[in-house]
Structure 1
Amino acid sequence: MWHCDNGFCNKVFRPTTNISMYTSMSRCKLLCSGPQLWPQPIGYTYFSKTIVSLSISKLEYKFQSIPSDSVNQYLAEAFKLFLKDLARLEKIDTKSREPLKEPVNKMIIQLDIESDSDPRLRTNTDEAYVVKIDTEKHQVFIKISAVSFCGVRHGLETLSQLILLDQSTGTLITLSHAVIKDAPSYKYRGVMIDTGRNYIPVIDLMRTLDGMAMCKLNTFHWRISDVTSFPLKLSKTPELFEHGGYERSMVYTREDVKAVVKRAGIRGIRVLIEVALPGPVGRPWSWMTDTSCPTKTENFTCNNPLCLRLLMTESIFDVIQNIYAEIIELTNVDDIFHLSDGIFSLMRCNHLIEDRDGYLDKALFRLRMANKGFMPKLPIIWYSPHLSRDFEAKVWEKFGVQLLDWTQNPSEFYLSQFKVIHSTKWDLSCEMKKQRCTRYRTWQEMYSWKSWRNIEVFTIEGGETVLWTDVVDTGNIDEHLWPRAAAVAERLWSDMVANSSATKFVYLRLDTHRWRMLLRGVKVKPIWPAWCSFNPGICLERIP
């Protein structure tokens, strides 16, 4: 049985009768520790201290207010996923079940989307939601309401975390009464995966989307190409994948991209595809005559095809416009766009600042043309020092920059002109030296990083974990992503100043969430030995 001790549930063998006990870990967690929600809601919450039993076989649901047919289609698919998760819980074989001493209540779920007729995640989408649970006469009434589809989807995710399996009886349980009013702290909450250095199969990307949805992350930043490969089959520029694919089995087709976009959309996630431009662009662009690989001095050479970069010619920008147009068509995301533009070091031969004057101005013009004459509300590039130059800073003023490697310098005041996406301390990759991993950042470090709030910027749009795949592929992508990306997800959703470190209750909630993610097929690394999951109070004695 289970005993509640200072907010922690500990397993007790041969329990005595003079202390209160719970027959299952789930019952104890709901009443002792409280619902183990991830990310933590930041609005008003109320939870009762009584438990009711439920069953999918006694379920009714109603889509109360649906503003469009497309929203109805998205919501129907999202609700199927919710029911699938509950069914998965009910199918768990719990040995030595005890007879159920309380009635199984009828569950009535009502979903209400108030006004947003576009199911896609947009830059102005309201993701707030409200979940209410009330019980009366053996009926559990559950209402989820939001302005948008994305809000209701988040509410369904929260509800799925409120409904647990009672291991002692094999039935579903939840609290008899609850209220959660919740909304994210930041609009942009992303995960970037680089598929240019190592190819990541579509099935792994799909599973990543499932994990993101469980953590309420909303942007899958797909850096699809790099100097080493271009594994995307575009209809207007097939030469790029023909010269840039490692082999034909390591290429994403248009159908692959559309499948990823569809899966993401149902989970309230947008897909941003980034093509690494303007250079270095490497071998994938070697078919074009307007590429360059200059020799500066005897000690500053470039004889490696990976160092190829693009010249600032109209023919190059014609190709770039075609790429932009096809990306917008495939992703159906036209209000935010990642133009890359980063200057990443490779063999000292790719210092491009002096050879790429005017790139941003021309790229923005071509992006507008590719987007049917409209400028996306939030164009994004990687931050690099060239943005300190007056002309390019002015061109990019009040647009988005993503900070990857930032050392705060008071003299560099120009960040105040930009909308910023933070990634500096949220790099999931190993720090590589001489082809060896020299440093691996922990989830506790990522969860506790809060100095990003102190950088003076125009606005903080949010943040993003980034995963470069130098030593990552299908064999280890999940262990690099999870649970560290989940830790960042809570920082971006909740961002609680008063609770910005990994306290013992953060450990407890993250461990519970890890088991949920495992049950849904996401391979999450453990945060401690399994013994601590059953005896958390003892394991966490020394943590504040």
Structure 2
Amino acid sequence: MLDTSRSYFPVRDLKRLIGAMAANKMNVFHWHITDAQSFPIELPSEPELAEKGAYGPEMRYSVEDVRDLVEFALDHGVRIVPEIDSPGHAGSWAGAHPDIVTCANMFWLPDGPDNWSTRLASEPGTGQLNPLHPKTYRVLRHIFSDLASLFPDPFIHAGADEIAPSCWSTDPTIRSYLAAGKTLSSLLSTFINSSHPLITSLNRTAIYWEDVLLNAEVNVPGSLLPPSTTILQTWNNGPNNTKLIVSAGYRSIVSSSDFYYLDCGHGDFPGNDSSGGVSWCGPFKTWQMIYDYDILEGIEEEEEARLVLGGEVALWTEQADGEVLDGRVWPRAAAMAEALWSGNRDETGRKRHAEATDRLNGWRERMVWRGIKAEPIQPLWCRKNPGMCNLVK
């Protein structure tokens, strides 16, 4: 997964990423297109979203760009799954549709970092769609219809993560709704109950982040998320949440932040931070950590194991752009590819660390020859002296 909202990536960068994915036998590009920070995709039915939500005219993906990218990806055996995040992470919609976005352009921590419960967003960049406004669903209908036209993939990722309760509470209509005895979970249920059919009516399966079902503060009942038309993507709590999801009968995509988040370990980005810039999901996810992870950990039933569709490394781009893209992704993503395709153990059940190191060293060199600026994992001396850099002879 690549986030192109927090940082814009030119089409040439996306093509280079997809080409490298194909070389590594990775076949799905989850494109997290929009977020609170920017709305960089031009949609025919809602042109103002990009006009007023992108960082600038030169930082948009045109219809022609998207079609070219989809064709390029298919030529390389890679599917593109588009994501338009909602109802949270929607601040970038406010320029075009301020009437359907709550708490837009407000300071994200009104009561400071010690009062997390009153946050208006999980990071700088506020704004959530108002589930009580009928126009919300007219706009969503246009967006999903355009996505279905541009992307042939049978899946649309609709986000639904990290709802900030206080953001919705800034809206007077929502405050009246809550004062009448309703809850934030029932408000999210209204949103899902109204928006999920907009996706399925296009013959698409909806993907959501796990929060929609598992978040402790704001969630929806499983009855609103039919497993036949819903896939849930895990990112919290390691293998435990994957187990919870498949036990409930849902298909799952595993993107555990404990293992598969490529942005972790680079510090934090808010200013005047006196904590030392500690990364919320640190430490840095080494290729060894990624290689070691078993996405079926704790899942013993064959029926449940079949519901785990695969794993996905993710690069959120608060601190990444095209200049560092290759090194942030490669060769760590290659370690995941080998582990998922070939397994990370030998015939005796032992982890294949030493063998994998030698293979990854050689593969990293070949990626560099292909024009991918993958990071080295050992000094060149180790490459020229096989086995001499191991801990055990």
TM range (shorter): 0.7 to 0.9
Structure 1 counterpart of 2:41 = 232
C-alpha change, 1:434 and 1:256, in structure 2 (3 Å) is: closer
SS for the counterpart of 2:86 is coil
Counterpart-to-counterpart distance in 2, 1:385 and 1:328: 22
Q: Cα distance, 1:200 vs. partner? A: 1.1
Question: Between Structure 1 and Structure 2, how many residues are aligned?
Answer: 343
Give % identity.
30
1:178-224, CA deviations, whole angstroms, 9 ceiling, x for partnerless residues? xxxxxxxxxxxxxx000000111111111101110011100001101
Q: Cα distance, 1:356 vs. partner? A: 2.2
Contact 2:90 2:101 in 1 (8 A): no
Residue 382 in 1 paired to residue 209 in 2? yes
Counterpart-to-counterpart distance in 2, 1:423 and 1:524: 21
Counterpart-to-counterpart distance in 1, 2:195 and 2:322: 34
Q: Cα distance, 1:414 vs. partner? A: 5.3
Contact 2:186 2:220 in 1 (8 A): no
Structure 1 counterpart of 2:231 = 400
Structure 2 residue aligned with 1:357, among 168, 175, 189? 189
Contact 1:195 1:225 in 2 (8 A): yes
Counterpart-to-counterpart distance in 1, 2:196 and 2:255: 24
Q: Cα distance, 1:285 vs. partner? A: 2.6
Structure 2 residue aligned with 1:488, among 328, 336, 341? 336
Residue 528 in 1 paired to residue 369 in 2? no
Unaligned runs of 5+ in 2: 112-117, 170-183, 271-276
C-alpha change, 1:419 and 1:359, in structure 2 (3 Å) is: same
Q: Cα distance, 1:408 vs. partner? A: 5.6
1:453-484, CA deviations, whole angstroms, 9 ceiling, x for partnerless residues? 32474711101000000010011011100000
The 5 Å alignment of 1:57-136 reads none
Contact 2:254 2:295 in 1 (8 A): no
Structure 2 counterpart of 1:444 = 288
Q: What is the TM-score normalised by the length of structure 2?
A: 0.79
Counterpart-to-counterpart distance in 2, 1:543 and 1:332: 50
Residue 514 in 1 paired to residue 354 in 2? no
Counterpart-to-counterpart distance in 2, 1:247 and 1:390: 35
Give 1 or 2: higher helix fraction.
2
Give 1 or 2: higher strand fraction.
1
Look up the equivalent residue of 1:454 and give its one-letter code.
G
Structure 1 counterpart of 2:114 = none
C-alpha change, 1:405 and 1:500, in structure 2 (3 Å) is: farther
C-alpha change, 1:238 and 1:385, in structure 2 (3 Å) is: closer
Counterpart-to-counterpart distance in 2, 1:441 and 1:390: 29
Q: Cα distance, 1:393 vs. partner? A: 1.4
Structure 2 counterpart of 1:471 = 319
357-366 vs 467-476, greater mean Cα deviation: 357-366
Contact 2:208 2:232 in 1 (8 A): yes
Look up the equivalent residue of 2:40 and give its one-letter code.
P
1:493-542, CA deviations, whole angstroms, 9 ceiling, x for partnerless residues? 122544673521111111111111111111111111112111112223x2
Query: Quick check: which has more Rg, 1 or 2?
Result: 1
Counterpart-to-counterpart distance in 1, 2:254 and 2:36: 24
Look up the equivalent residue of 1:241 and give its one-letter code.
A
Look up the equivalent residue of 2:268 and give its one-letter code.
K
C-alpha change, 1:348 and 1:426, in structure 2 (3 Å) is: farther
Structure 1 counterpart of 2:297 = 453
The 5 Å alignment of 1:406-417 reads 406-407=237-238, 413=244, 415-416=246-247, 417=249
The 5 Å alignment of 1:70-469 reads 192-288=1-97, 289-293=99-103, 299=111, 300=118, 306-312=125-131, 313-333=133-153, 335-343=154-162, 349=167, 353=185, 355-369=187-201, 371=202, 374=203, 376=204, 378-384=205-211, 386-387=213-214, 392-398=221-227, 399-407=230-238, 413=244, 415-416=246-247, 417-424=249-256, 425-431=259-265, 432-433=267-268, 435=270, 436=277, 438=279, 439-450=283-294, 452-455=296-299, 457=304, 459-469=307-317
1:301-329, CA deviations, whole angstroms, 9 ceiling, x for partnerless residues? 75999322112233211111111111121
SS for the counterpart of 1:227 is coil
Counterpart-to-counterpart distance in 2, 1:305 and 1:264: 32
C-alpha change, 1:413 and 1:473, in structure 2 (3 Å) is: closer
Counterpart-to-counterpart distance in 1, 2:55 and 2:295: 40
Counterpart-to-counterpart distance in 1, 2:125 and 2:269: 18
Q: Cα distance, 1:491 vs. partner? A: 1.6
SS for the counterpart of 2:37 is coil
What's the RMSD between the two structures over aligned residues? 3.0
Counterpart-to-counterpart distance in 2, 1:230 and 1:277: 12
Q: Cα distance, 1:415 vs. partner? A: 4.3
Contact 1:447 1:500 in 2 (8 A): no
SS for the counterpart of 1:356 is helix
435-444 vs 229-238, greater mean Cα deviation: 435-444
1:4-32, CA deviations, whole angstroms, 9 ceiling, x for partnerless residues? xxxxxxxxxxxxxxxxxxxxxxxxxxxxx
Counterpart-to-counterpart distance in 2, 1:500 and 1:193: 32
C-alpha change, 1:471 and 1:434, in structure 2 (3 Å) is: closer
C-alpha change, 1:503 and 1:236, in structure 2 (3 Å) is: same
C-alpha change, 1:506 and 1:240, in structure 2 (3 Å) is: same
C-alpha change, 1:524 and 1:359, in structure 2 (3 Å) is: same
Q: Cα distance, 1:262 vs. partner? A: 1.1
Q: What is the TM-score normalised by the length of structure 1?
A: 0.58
Q: Cα distance, 1:437 vs. partner? A: 6.0
Counterpart-to-counterpart distance in 1, 2:237 and 2:185: 19
Counterpart-to-counterpart distance in 1, 2:148 and 2:235: 25
Counterpart-to-counterpart distance in 1, 2:8 and 2:147: 19
Contact 1:193 1:468 in 2 (8 A): yes
Unaligned runs of 5+ in 1: 1-191
Look up the equivalent residue of 1:356 and give its one-letter code.
L
C-alpha change, 1:391 and 1:210, in structure 2 (3 Å) is: closer
Look up the equivalent residue of 1:429 and give its one-letter code.
D
222-231 vs 412-421, greater mean Cα deviation: 412-421
Structure 1 counterpart of 2:178 = none
Counterpart-to-counterpart distance in 1, 2:325 and 2:233: 23
Contact 2:260 2:312 in 1 (8 A): yes
